[in-house]
Structure 1
Amino acid sequence: MTPLLSRALLAEGLGTFALVFFGPGAAVVQAQTGALGHLGVAAVFGLTVTAVIAALAPISGAHINPAATFALALAGRFPRRRVLPYLGAQLLGATLAAFTLLALFGREGHLGVTVPAGSWARALALETLLTFFLLLVALRSGLPWAVGGVVALEAVMGGPITGASMNPARSFGPALASGIWTAHWVYWVAPLLGAALAVATNHVLSPAQPLEAQPGRAQEFRPEGEPI
C-alpha cells in the first residue's frame, strides 16, 4: 500500500466517522433532549459534509459514501482498484462512530438508524431520487457548500420518510450498533441506483468538447496525486 493510498484511506475513515458521529449523533441528541428539531438535525448533516469535504477532499476526495465512490469509478474519475479499499475505510469509520454513540448515549433514538416510514417501495424510490440529485451536484460541482447544502435540503424533505441516508455506510454503522436491520437492503440498492442514474445524466449534460478550466473550480472529489 502506497503512502498516498494509506493517507487517503485514513482520511476516508475519519471523514465517514465524522459524518456518522455528528449526523446520527444529532438525531440521538434530538431524541434525548428535543433541542435541535428536524431542521437542526438536517443542518448538522449538511454542515458536517461541508466541513469534511473542505478539510479532506485534497487528501482522499472526501467521498465518505460508497455510492459516491461507485459513481466516480463508473464515471472514470476514480481508479476501480481503489473502490474496495475505500468501501472498507468508509464502513469502518461509520461503524466506529456508531459504537462511539452507543457508548455515549446507549440506544437513545436507536442511534439514528434509517428505517422506512411506510412501504419499502416508496423508500426505494425516494432514496434513489435523493441520491441521484446529491451525486449529480457532486459530479458537476464538488464544491463543499454545494454538496453540503444538497445534503441538508434533502434531509429536510426526506428525513421523516426514509432518514434521507443516500449513503450505505451512514446506514450500515447505526444498523450494526443498534441491531435494527429493517429494510436495510434499500439503503444499499437505492444509493447505487441513484449513483448510476447520476453518472448517466451527467454524461448527457456534459459538453461534447471539454470546457476550459475555471479558476477555483473544485477537483470533483479527486484526491491528491490522482491522475485524471
Structure 2
Amino acid sequence: MAGGEHGAGANGLQDQDLTGALEEGRGGVNQPAGCENSGEQALSSTSNQPMLSVQFVQKILAEIFGTYFLIFAGCAAVAVNKRTAGTVTFPGICITWGLAVMVMVYSVGHISGAHFNPAVTFAFATCGRFPWRQVPAYAAAQVLGSTAASITLRLLFGGEPEHFFGTVPSGSDVQSLVLEFIITFYLMFVVSGVATDNRAIGELAGLAVGATVLLNVLFAGPISGASMNPARTIGPAMVLGRYTGIWVYIIGPVSGAVSGAWAYNLIRFTNKPLREITRTGSFLRSARMS
C-alpha cells in the first residue's frame, strides 16, 4: 500500500536502486549515487516503454498479488478478531497491517514499486514521478486485488454485518475525512522521503512505510478505520454491499497523498545554486525537479 512504486531491495539492489524502486518500479537500473535527476531519467525510460510490454504486465500482476496479500492479511486479522471475540486484539491488528505492508514492499517493490494504493499512484503522477498513462491500469489492479481478497474472506468467514472487515466512520463523516487526510499525508510524506530521495537509506524503505502504517492504525483505527487507501475500502464495500461514508475514503486519502507528496517536494534537498532554481520562474516546479 503503501502505498510511488515504493521499492525495497530484498534482492541485493543498491541504495539508489532501492530509493527509486518505490517511485518508478525500475528494479535494477543503476543510477550514479547522488544523481538528483535519477527519478526523472527513470520516469522517462518507463514512459517510453509500450503499455503492453512484458515488463508492464509483470508490474500489474505484482500490484494485484501484492494488494491481494496485503488486504487479505490485514482484513483477515479484523475478521478473525471479531469472529473469535477479540483473540487477535487491536494492537495485533495494527501489527498485522504494518508487517503486511513491510513484507510486500520488500517482496515486489523492485518489480512494480509496491504502491498497492490508488492514492499513492495518483500522488506520484501529480509530481511527475509516475507516468499518467499507467495510472488507470495500476488503480484497476489494486482494486482488483482488494476485491479478490475480500471475496476470499467472505467465503471463509461469511458476510454477516457483525463480521464486517471494511472501513466505516465510527463518528461523523467530517471527523473521519480529516483524520484520513492527515494520516495519508503522513504516510505519503514518509514514502516520498524514504522511497524517492536517493540520499535516504533505501534498505529501510519497507520498514519505515510499514511502521508508519502501524502507527496510523493504532490511533486512527478506532475512529475512521485507518484506511489510507481507496482500494482497501472499495474492495470490502463492493463484496459486502456496505457503502457507508465511502466518499470519505476516496477524497481523504487521495487529497492527503497528493498534499504529502508535494509537501516533501517543497523540502527536498537540492545542491543547485539559487540562481539556477529561481531561473525556472516557479518555486513549485523547481521543487519538483530537484
Distance in 1 of aligned mates of 2:163 and 2:143: 18
| Match 1:145 to one of 181, 199, 207 | 207
Write the distance in 2 (CA, Å) between the matches of 1:201 and 1:60: 24
Matches within 5 A, 1:46-125: 46-108=98-160, 109-125=162-178
CA distance in 2, matches of 1:77, 1:37: 38
Deviations 1:26-59 (A, max 9, x none): 0000001121100000100000000000000011
Shift of 1:11: 0.3
Helix, strand or coil: the match of 2:109? helix
Query: CA-to-partner distance for each residue in 1:183-224, whole Å, 9 max, x for gaps?
Result: 0011000011101211221111112337xxxxxxxxxxxxxx
Larger helix fraction of residues? 1
Greater C-alpha radius of gyration: 2
Give 1:219's aligned residue.
none
Distance in 2 between residues matched to 1:207 and 1:40, nearest whole Å: 37
Give the equivalent residue in structure 1 for 2:259.
Answer: 197
Name the structure 1 match of 2:71.
20
**What pairs up with 1:115-194 in 2 under 5 angstroms?**
115-142=168-195, 143-194=205-256
Counterparts of 1:30-45 in structure 2 under 5 Å? 30-33=81-84, 34-45=86-97
Q: What secondary structure sits across from 1:157 in the alignment?
A: helix
TM-score normalized by the length of structure 2? 0.71
Show the 5 A alignment for 1:211-226: none
| Residue segments in structure 2 that go unaligned for 5+ positions in a row | 1-51, 196-204, 273-290
Instruction: Name the count of aligned residue pairs.
Output: 210
- Does structure 2 retain, via aligned residues, the 8 Å contact 1:73–1:83? yes
Structure 1 residues 57-78: Cα deviation after superposition (integer angstroms, max 9, x where no partner): 0110000000110111112111
SS at match of 1:63: coil
Secondary structure in 2 aligned to 1:67? helix
User: For the Cα contact (< 8 Å) 1:102–1:111, is it kept in 2?
Assistant: no
Q: Is the 8 A contact 1:110 1:178 kept in 2?
A: no
Unaligned runs of 5+ in 1: 211-228
Q: Measure the CA separation in 2 of the matches of 1:156 and 1:94.
A: 22
- Contact 2:176 2:223 survives alignment (8 Å): yes
Separation in 1, partners of 2:241, 2:97: 23
Give me the whole-angstrom Cα distance separating, in 2, the residues matched to 1:125 and 1:74. 21
Contact 2:71 / 2:150 at 8 angstroms: preserved in 1? Answer: yes
SS at match of 1:102: helix
C-alpha distance in 2, partners of 1:150/1:14?
22
Residue 9 (1) aligns with residue 60 (2): yes
Q: Distance in 1 between matches of 2:271 and 2:54?
A: 35
* Greater Cα offset, 200-209 or 2-11: 200-209
Look up the SS of the partner of 1:60 in the other structure.
coil
**Aligned residue type for 2:65:** L
Question: Deviations for 1:86-144, whole angstroms, at most 9, x for unmatched residues?
Answer: 00100100000000000000025544110001111100000000000001000110300
